Every structure is written in structure tokens, then in C-alpha cells.
Structure 1
Amino acid sequence: MHHPISGEAADAPRRTAISSLYSHVISALAALGTVWIFAIMLLICADVIGLKLFARPLYGVIEFTENSIVPIVFLQLAAVLRHGRLTRADFLFAPLKANRPGIAGMMDAVFLLIGGGIFAVLAAELLGDFTAALGNGEYIGTRGVFTMPTWPFRLLTAIGAVATAVEFARCVTLALARCRSRQEVLALSVTLGLFALSLALIMWMEPGRLALGGLIILGLVVLLAAGMHVAPVMMLVGLVGIWLIRDNPTIAFKALKTATTGTVNKFDFGVIPLFVLMGLFTDISGIGRDAYRVAAWWTRKLLGGLGIATVVANAIFAAVTGISIASAAVFSKLAVPQMVAHGYTPRFATGTVAGSSVLGMLLPPSLLLIIYAFVAEASVGKLFLAAIIPGLFLALLFCATILLMARYWPGFVGQPASVVDLEAETLVSSARRLLPIGVLITVIIGGVYLGWFTPTQAGAVGALAAMGITILRGKLNRSALWMVMQETGLISVSVLMLVIGASMLSKALVISTLPMQMVDFATASGFGFWGVLGLFLLIVVLMGMFLDASSIIVITVPIALPLIVTLGVPVIGPDVVIWFGIVTVVAVEMGLLTPPFGISVFVVKSTVGSICTLGDVFIGSLPFVLAMAVLIVVLMAFPSLVTLAF
């Protein structure tokens, strides 16, 4: 007997085909953005070679790079969202999702719906930008030297925004599909109702600019704590804030488009994907392993020798990566098994790796310093040079901490056995192992210090050099290359979106006059520079318990910097912005090691497995948090340690 196929069953293959096609489109857009980063690296390197060796630069490289960054971000943004790499603070949301997944799903659906709405508005604005550029024949460059139309860049950016809005919609559909009970529907209704009620109440009360500035901060904190993605939160509160302050949605939408297309479209922002690319190449090249072997041999006779070796190797590795997570992952595999096998406690071994991994965010080239430079409109090169002495001093503090613990707290460190099984090193073999790292450090720090390269050019040359080293060592195959390029895109886009969101938030805060009022209040109240700085550092460390480091910087620095500069110039001097950046990064790094977030701790724990508990890693890293607090006190007492290098 023939049974007709139901309409729903007949539509299933069609839905599957559409879904598969859509997934391929998202992957293709992300692949284009990934390859684009690699192409920019090659172009900048060719420009540097042409200029330095033949006095014949490649015209248009700077303009092409500047106009490429925004489309690169948006082409990969949908994939970033799909892979769950769009930054969010889930310290409250994650437990709710584990215990009440349905309710968490409904809340997430609301957050995703809002994010999709923001990007739908943005896509409409960007499509208008594209049609205007196409119709007006807009171009970049100089006639007779180099020109290129801008409409392809605008078109690809708009396509990426549309794809991101669609991906948000897809995620909303998936979240709603998990709705199974009346309680979950109630959670969805309550969340939507709270949003609508809050907005209606604010509009009814018609608060002044200053009050709206305070509400922007309050809304930011509440939505971040609830688990909404960080970049969309900043874009949302900035958009709504400007809308209410200026009482004009058109102005708010234009501000959103300007924050998106006019923030990261600068040559200096190319440094982020290029340094990430270089760091990932060094990660797979085995440079970290060589640094650890050399350090372990030469420190074998010291108290806590393998712990000190881990710090030294981390400091060397940090000078060519700039990403603390990479250091934590590498040395969790290298150092922890060695240290435990030689009698060190798992708590001390994992804590040492987690603690010393933060050197990657202070010693240049540091991704956090780059982000701070863009948010504070400071010189990346100056920040790199300013971080050298504090970074090396922090490494020495870590080594001293290990020596003191090994001497006075042996129960915590363990009972190290002989290390005669380590591979013997000579000065010649050590130099040979460290030569690739020396080359990269010379290219990056030496090139910037001597004025050979801008930081962006140093990033491109360093990435190409790291790739060459990886090839020469036989560590680069097709799958590894694609993994590096793909991961570069995911990391870079998530960071650059934070910068874009911070720009929108800053615009709203400036219009509200809140930062200026804070300056006037702090000046009149007599808190003084040190009182304001102490309060800021306390807030940053507390935020580090719940937010990632990049988010903390882009959220707090625009609010605090005007106040710090006004009060700090008479105390610290004209380089207060640079000094404040170093102190801020050290304070933010402390958050990488403090519960409940502590991203470096989580990376170490996930790498070492069941060798110890998560609490053991947090306790093991506590002495290093105290050492970082000591560094902050030293930098406050002797600000010249920061400015000595430039």
C-alpha cells in the first residue's frame, strides 16, 4: 500500500541542501578573509624589501591594507560566531546553561536576536555605502601613481554583515528549537519584557545626558553579566545611548556605521593579525621546546631549577608570540610532565606554567599592548619599548619567588630529584637552539627600536620569518598551514570586533559628557591621582575574575583614561599614557590567574588533564599573582622604569 510522503518530510532534503549550501558560503567567506591576511603579509614584506634594498616601494600597499581590514573582519565574523569564538562573559551564564539549559537557551535567543538586529541595521547602512561608492566612482590612492576603486571593499564588508545577521538568525532559530516547556517560554517572555520595560521607562523619564551616561554603564554591566556577547553589548548600549541623547535614530545608525568602518581601517591595525600569525607559526615550529631544553639544562643546579627554567623559557617564547594562551598551552605539555617526573608537586608545576605564561602579554610583541595602544591612541612602538624593562623585571620576580618558595616552603614546591637525565647542552648547542628565537627578536624589537620597521611591518616580516623557520624545521604541512591561517582569522576578528564595539561605546560616553564630569568630580573631590589609580586597579583586577583581558581594556580604558591623564601628568609626566598602559596590562594579567575566570589557568588544566584539580592550579599560581602586585607597586614608586627605554 502506498503512503504519501508528508509535506514536512518532503521538505527535509531541501532544508538540508539549503543548510549545506549556506555552510559552504560561510566557510568560503571565512577562507577568503583568511587568505587575505596571508596576502597582506606578503605584500607588506615585498614593500619592505623593495624600499629597504632597492629604494622602490610597492605603491598602494598601505592604502590597500587599510581598506582590507574591515572586510577581513566581516568576511570571517559569521564563522567566528558559528565557532563560538565571539567573546562573552559566561561566569553566570555557563552555570545556568549547565543546570537549566532551556532557560539559558531562551535568554541566549534574546541576546542573539538583538545582535542580529544590530547587524541587520549595519548591513543596510553598509549596502548604502557600497552603492554610493560605486555610483560616485570613489577610489583610493593618488592618480598617476596608484588608484583602486573602493566599492569592492565596501561590497565585501556588506556581504559579511549580511552573512553575520543571517548567522545570528540561524542561532536564534536553534535556541528557540530547544524550547520544550512552559517555564522556558516564560523565561523568553520575561527577558524580552524586561528589555522593553527598561527602554520604555528610560524614554518616559527623559533623563539628562549625564544620567544617560550612567545608564549606559549600568546597561553594559548588566548585559555583560547576563552573558550577552561583549562586542554586541557595547554596540547596543552605544547605539541606544546615542539614539536617546540625540533623540534621533538616524544619527545613531550613522554612528554605528562610522564606528564599524572608521575605527580599524588604519595601517596600524594590521599589526594584530600579523603578530597573531607570527605567534601561531612559532607555536608549531618547536621554538618553545628548544627554549625549555636550554633553560632546563642551565638552571638544573638551582633550587626549583625546572620552575626557573619554565619562567626563562616562557620569557624567551613571549618575545616572539605575544599571546599568553599559546605559552600556557605549549609549556603545559613541555614543562609540567618533566617537573612532576622530577619530584615537583603538580600544584607547583601547573601554577608555575600558568603564572609565567602571562609574560606573553607584557613582553613585546604583546597583543594586549597593541589593543591598549589603539584604545588609548598611543604609540605601539613606544609601548613595546616601555614594556621591556618591566617584563624582564617581572620574570626576575617570578624566578625570585620560586627560589624563596623552594628554600622556605619545600612542601609546596616538592622534593626535586636529580635531573641527570636532561639532554646535555653546551654554549654552542644552546646558541644553535636559540638562534631562530634570536633572529625573530632582532627582527621585531630591533627593527622597531632602530626605526627600520613600523610595528605593522615588523609583524609582517616576523610572520614571514617565523613561517620560514617552521618550513626549515619540517613542521609546516598543508593541514598545519591551514590551521594557522584559520586560527589567525578567528583570534584577530574576535579582538578587532572588541575594538569596534569599544569605539561605539566611547562615542556614546563622550556625547553623554560622563568622562568629563568624572574628571571634574575627581579633581574637586581631592581623591588625587594615586587614589583614582588604586580604585581603577581594584576594579580591573575584580573584572579579571569574570572577563577576558581584551574586553577589560576596551571597556575600562576609554572611561578612565581622561581622568588618569588629567591627574597624572603632574605626577608621572608627559608619558603618563604609556606608563598607565604598562600598569594596566599588569593588572589585567592578574585577572588571567584569578578565579572564577582565569583563562590561563583553564588552558593549563585542560592541557594537563587529571594530574591535578582546577583549584590546585589556581592555588599554585597565587604566588605569581602576588609577584605581579609587587611589580605594580615598584612601577608606581619608580615610573622611570617604564620610560627609560625611549
Structure 2
Amino acid sequence: MADQTPVSRSVLEDEHGSANPLATVSNKVLRRTTEFMSSIGTVWFFALVILICTEIVAREFFLSPIRGVTEIAAYSIVGAAFLQLANTVYAERMARADFMLSIFGKRFPLSVAVIEVVVSIIGLIAMVLLAQATWPKLVDAYVDAEIVGVPGEFSFQVWPLRFLVLIGSAMTALAFLARAFQKVGSVYANHGKAGMIGLVLTLATLTILWFTVFPMVMDARLSTFAIGAILLATLILVVMTGVHIGVAMLLIGFIGLWLLKGRIGFGYSMLGLAGNEFLANYYFSAVPLFVLMGLLVAAADIGKETFAVASWLTRPIRGGLGIATVGANAMFAAITGSSVASATVFSKVATPEMIRHGYNKQFSVGVVAGSSVLGMLIPPSLLLIVYGFLAEQSVGYLFIAAIVPGLILAFAMSFMIWFNATFRPHKVFDTAPDAGSDVDAISGIGQAALYLAPIIGLIVLVLGGIYGGFFTPTEGGAVGSAGALIYAILRRRLPMQKLWQVMVETGQIATTVLFLILAANIFTIMLASSGFVQNVGTLINSLDLSLLQFAAIYVILLVILGMFLESVSIMLIVVPIALPTVAALGGDPIWFGILTVIAVEIGLLTPPFGLSCYVVAATLRDKGIDLVDIFKGVQPFVFVMFLMTILIILFPDLASMTFQK
């Protein structure tokens, strides 16, 4: 998902900051309202940490668990996410693949400007549909006094949370409308009457196509498989044009259900279920909790201290700073679960040190971006949590199974760095290599142990608690967040302003991921209803592929998709289709999950999307680092990851160790 900075100017102002002629006086009220709603959702997510940690203490130390925590957390996810959804649109944080717009923006600026208007209108339509589908769910919950929990012990009514979904959807629709006005203003300001004529003709053409093509498809009596295949291809095409990924999956899934059942009511029914009930699952609490933990760890400078120790330990080794970056990333990954967090932290910490000690820029940024992918493999991992939900597998088992592959991958990256530094020094160094690094902060073993204490303590706290059975992986996110917060406060590294920034960032990232999951549910229901998944499985079985052959094709497909889409979106689209085939071929779903994460993470390093590369470029934009240099610098790491996928395919036991076999 894109790592973008929230915009500070009004979305009804053009890119030059001047007042847009289409702006309305209500924009300021709308913006402040969405920010207020987002603030409530932000605090709500943070309150979950306190609630869950309190429940763990009460349960483990006083044998008096707090009733209703599971229900409160599950439904809180729904309410808090929808409260923040509109602000993610304002902040341009909703996930999208806009690389094509970037490529064509200089040659065809008018076309790109028009597309941006269309993208906003599509978002508006999707959110209006979601609001409409939510209304009957709200009415039913209110009239029937629907409750959650056990009457007489702990229960609460559902309708207030349904109301938040309705309000959140409506406000997000207004945010998309405001974005559309801003983009229309940009068309007029930059292209004049010719631009407006082009915009009107484009909108008219799309409207005519909709009212022409959709009835034709309805009357064509296509097979359900054909409908599913056409809509899957449409999804990929629409996403490539810059439509927000969650919006595209939600809208196309809705249209597909309408086509398959021949009535719009079924689409509304499924949309209402997804928007109001699907995310009301304690399982999804892990998303904001682990995101918060990763951001708090980064804010507390734990990554910086870990890198200092790693560079001190590897100072006698050729290419030691590069190896130190990999090692620090591996340890950092054990408490963050985020490649983006790792790339952000070590871009600032490791890159300047390597360049200062004679490493060339290309290699330096390549090491940071390449090793950042360890954040999504070494547990805890957000992608493994998402996969666990999709595949209905134990997240704890997935975490255990990822340890060995994660360590092997880190070692392989380190070996590759040493090999290049020793035998191909021109690929690594610009000047004479320095055997050491800036280790002035490390005076000896005692100082190194002091620097490593926070990260080791959090690893023991989180992973030890999960594997020891003291708390679940979801609760581990809350415990880790609390531990990182306490450490940062004690070290006076987290003033209130910085803490609030971390909380806001947590809300935006978590809301984006949760909305993707919600939208993917609609699209997955559509594909299942079309029989597309079953037919693809039958087709693959007819080819008489072995599990090894299928796995190889699957990895190649994921890498190709990774060039255009971000990790969570790929998994949400592909895993429900591929998993039944793996089961039919006798594959272990735990092994398949590890293979999937590694293959998907290759996409973080490959152009044109390459999220980790973009994060490094954005973090070092004032250092003269070119994006092309980053993509070139990560090529050796992409090669190592491909070798890792081959190893996992040939030796599946490496990725299926759960202590249950």
C-alpha cells in the first residue's frame, strides 16, 4: 500500500494551491468533520490496546477475565475503520496502482486529468451503493433490538455500529465528490475549455457504454464462468487505470452478483453483509494492533540502536555494513511485521552510513530495500495474518513455519553481500572499502547489550507470549504495542505530538487494509458464485500438473501481479482461487502460505510498482537518490528470493514446521 503523506491543503484546491472555482463553502466543514471522525476512530484503535492488555492481565494474573472483550474488539474494528475511511480519501492513502498515470502524465496530461475525475466518480458511486446497502441493515438492527453477547452477562445493541457504517460510507462518498470537484477544477485550470469538452465527452461516452453494454451482457445469457472471467479481467484493467483497488473490487463484485443472479437486490444484500458484519471479527483486530506496534517501534529508535549493534558485530567482515543492515532488518522484522516500516527506518539509518564508508549509492539503497522484505516473512507478519484468515489456518502455526525460511533468506542475503564485496568489489564500493563502520556509540559488549535489550525484550514478550500460550497472536499485537509505548515514553522519545502522528498513521494504514479486505470479500463471493474458482481448478486438474509445476506457475503469476499491485490486494484476489487447487493436489496450506508471502514480497522489489523501492526513494528524496538506482540495486536480492522460492518448492518441509507433525 502506498506510503503517502497526508495532504494539508483542501481537496477543493487545485495543485497550484489556488481556490478552485467549483469549490463550495461547505468544504471546510466537510474536511473538519472527517478529521474529527478520524480522530475518534484513531483513539478508538488505541483504546483497544489498553482494553486487550487489561484483559490479559486480569485473566493471567487474577484469573478474572473481562467479559465481552472479544465482542467489543470485533465490533470496534468496524466502527473505528468506517469513522476513518473518509479521511483516508482526503489524505490520498486509499490503496491504488497509479503508476500508469505517472508514466503517461507527462505525455498526455489532459487524459490523466480526465481519468482522475472518472476515478473519483467511481469511488463516489461505490460508497453510495455501500451506504444504500447499509440502511436496511441499520433499520433491522434498530427495530429488532439486535444484540451481541450473552443477555444477563454482557451484551450491547448493534444498531449504533451500523449507524457508524452508514455515516462513514456517506462521508466517504462526499469525500470522493469533493475530490471529483477538485480534479474537475484542475482540468479547467490547466486545460481550459478544451479540457472541459474532453471531460464531458468522456463522461458521456462512459455513460452510454454502461447503458448499452450492461443490458447486452444481461441478455447474452453468458455462462457464469464467462461472467466471472470477464469481471476478473475487468478488475485488473480498471485497477491499472488508477481506480482505488478496494473501490474496484467492491463495485465489480457488486455488478457481478447483479449479473449472476439477474437482480440487483442480491448484490445489495451481499454488500450490506460485507460492510456491516464481515469485519466484525476479533481476528481483524490484529491489523491495527500490529501496525501500531511497528510504528511505535520505529518511532522509539529501536531500529537505529539495533543497526548500531549489528554494524559493530560485523565490522571485521567484508561488506559488514550491508550484512549489518540485513541482520538489523531481520531483528526489526521480529517485532514489526511491516516491510514499509523497515524500509523507512533503515533508509534513514543505514544508507547514509554505508555511503559514508565507501559503498556506492546503488548498492546501499538496494540493501535497504531488498532486506526490508524480511519484515513480511519473519513473524509476526501482517501478510501471514491475512493469509491465515483467507486459508482458515492457525496464525500461530504460520508464524512458527515462517521462522526457518525467514532465517534462511536473511542468511542467503548476507552471503550474497559478502560474496559480492569479496569477489566483485566494484559492485559494492565506490572507494576503498572500510572494514568497519561508525561504532562510536558502542563502547563494548555491555553497551551493545544495552542497545539490544529493547528489541530482544519485545521479541521475547510478543513471540514468547504467543508460543507460550499466554495470549493469542491478536493479543500479541496489543502487548507489543504497549511494550514499545512504555519503552519510548521511559526513554523520552515519544512526545505527545509524535505519539499522535503515530496513532493517525496507524488508523490510515489499518483502515486502508481493512477496507481492502472488506471489498475483497464481495469480489470473492462473486467469483465463488460464478463457479470461476471451481472451473479453474478443474482446468488445472485436466492439465495433469504436479504440485511442483503448479507452484512454479503460481510463483511466476504472483511476481507478475506484484509488478502492478500491492501485497495485500494480490493475496485477497489470488489466494481464494489458488488454494482449492493446492488442496486437490495434496499441498500443505501452511507451506503454501509461506511460499505465497515470499513470492508476493518479490513484487515489492520489482518495477513498476515496487512499493519498498518507492518508500526508500520517498524517504531519501533529498539525498539525490534516483528510483532507477534503487531498482537496479535490488536485483541481486530479487535473484536470492527467487532461489528461496525454488528451495521452498523443492523442500516443502522447510516451510511447514509447526511442531504438530
Q: Does 1:554 align with 2:566?
A: no
TM-superposed CA distance for 1:142, in Å, is: 1.1
1:596 aligned partner, one-letter code: P
Assess if the C-alpha contact under 8 Å between 1:60 and 1:146 holds in 2: yes
1:504 aligned partner, one-letter code: I
TM-superposed CA distance for 1:517, in Å, is: 1.2
Q: Does 1:301 align with 2:316?
A: yes
Paired residue for 2:611? 599
- Quick one: which of 619, 638, 644 aligns to 2:632? 619
2:409 aligned partner, one-letter code: L
Paired residue for 2:591? 579
Q: Does 1:259 align with 2:274?
A: yes
- Indicate the larger mover: 377-386 or 450-459: 377-386
TM-superposed CA distance for 1:536, in Å, is: 1.5
Paired residue for 1:419? 436
- Give the 3 Å change call, closer, same or farther, for CA 330–198 of structure 1 in structure 2: same
TM-superposed CA distance for 1:97, in Å, is: 3.5
Query: Partners of 2:602 and 2:182 in 1: how far apart?
Result: 37
Q: Does 1:129 align with 2:132?
A: no
- Give the 3 Å change call, closer, same or farther, for CA 530–192 of structure 1 in structure 2: farther
- Give the 3 Å change call, closer, same or farther, for CA 239–404 of structure 1 in structure 2: same
Scaled by the length of structure 2, the TM-score of the pair is 0.92
TM-superposed CA distance for 1:244, in Å, is: 0.8
Assess if the C-alpha contact under 8 Å between 2:289 and 2:478 holds in 1: yes
Q: Could you list the runs of 5+ residues in structure 2 that have no partner in the other structure? A: 1-19
- Indicate the larger mover: 87-96 or 494-503: 87-96
1:74 aligned partner, one-letter code: F
2:471 match: secondary structure: coil
1:227 match: secondary structure: coil
Q: Does 1:530 align with 2:548?
A: yes
- Quick one: which of 54, 70, 75 aligns to 2:83? 75
Paired residue for 1:590? 602
Query: Partners of 1:386 and 1:482 in 2: how far apart?
Result: 35
- Give the 3 Å change call, closer, same or farther, for CA 89–420 of structure 1 in structure 2: closer
Paired residue for 1:145? 153
Assess if the C-alpha contact under 8 Å between 2:52 and 2:475 holds in 1: yes
TM-superposed CA distance for 1:329, in Å, is: 1.3
Query: Partners of 1:154 and 1:203 in 2: how far apart?
Result: 33
Assess if the C-alpha contact under 8 Å between 1:294 and 1:425 holds in 2: no
Per-residue CA distance 1:1-59 (angstroms, 9 max, x = gap): xxxxxxxxxxx999764221111111111111101001111111111000000011111
1:636 aligned partner, one-letter code: I
2:65 match: secondary structure: coil
Per-residue CA distance 1:237-277 (angstroms, 9 max, x = gap): 11111111111110111011112223221111100000000
**Any residues of structure 2 matched to 1:83-482 within 5 Å, and which?**
83-177=91-185, 178-179=187-188, 180=192, 181=194, 182-414=197-429, 415-419=432-436, 421-423=438-440, 424-482=442-500
Query: Partners of 1:243 and 1:27 in 2: how far apart?
Result: 35
Assess if the C-alpha contact under 8 Å between 2:27 and 2:178 holds in 1: no
1:92 match: secondary structure: helix
TM-superposed CA distance for 1:70, in Å, is: 1.2
1:148 match: secondary structure: strand
- Provide the aligned length of Structure 1 versus Structure 2: 630
Assess if the C-alpha contact under 8 Å between 2:22 and 2:181 holds in 1: no
1:628 aligned partner, one-letter code: M
Query: Partners of 1:160 and 1:514 in 2: how far apart?
Result: 33
- Give the 3 Å change call, closer, same or farther, for CA 197–218 of structure 1 in structure 2: farther
Scaled by the length of structure 1, the TM-score of the pair is 0.94
- Give the 3 Å change call, closer, same or farther, for CA 183–403 of structure 1 in structure 2: same
- Give the 3 Å change call, closer, same or farther, for CA 438–521 of structure 1 in structure 2: same
Q: Does 1:631 align with 2:647?
A: no
- Indicate the larger mover: 191-200 or 556-565: 191-200
- Give the 3 Å change call, closer, same or farther, for CA 97–201 of structure 1 in structure 2: farther
TM-superposed CA distance for 1:159, in Å, is: 0.9
- Give the 3 Å change call, closer, same or farther, for CA 13–217 of structure 1 in structure 2: closer
TM-superposed CA distance for 1:449, in Å, is: 0.9
1:419 match: secondary structure: coil
Assess if the C-alpha contact under 8 Å between 2:339 and 2:376 holds in 1: yes
Query: Partners of 1:101 and 1:46 in 2: how far apart?
Result: 54
TM-superposed CA distance for 1:343, in Å, is: 0.9
Per-residue CA distance 1:503-543 (angstroms, 9 max, x = gap): 11110111111111111121122122222222221111011
Query: Partners of 1:194 and 1:527 in 2: how far apart?
Result: 41
TM-superposed CA distance for 1:196, in Å, is: 4.0
2:542 aligned partner, one-letter code: A
Per-residue CA distance 1:563-621 (angstroms, 9 max, x = gap): 12211x2xx4xxx1111111111111111111111111111122223444222211111
Query: Partners of 2:54 and 2:448 in 1: how far apart?
Result: 33
* Percentage identity across paired residues of the two chains: 38
Superposed CA RMSD in Å reads 1.9
TM-superposed CA distance for 1:418, in Å, is: 4.5
Q: Does 1:42 align with 2:50?
A: yes
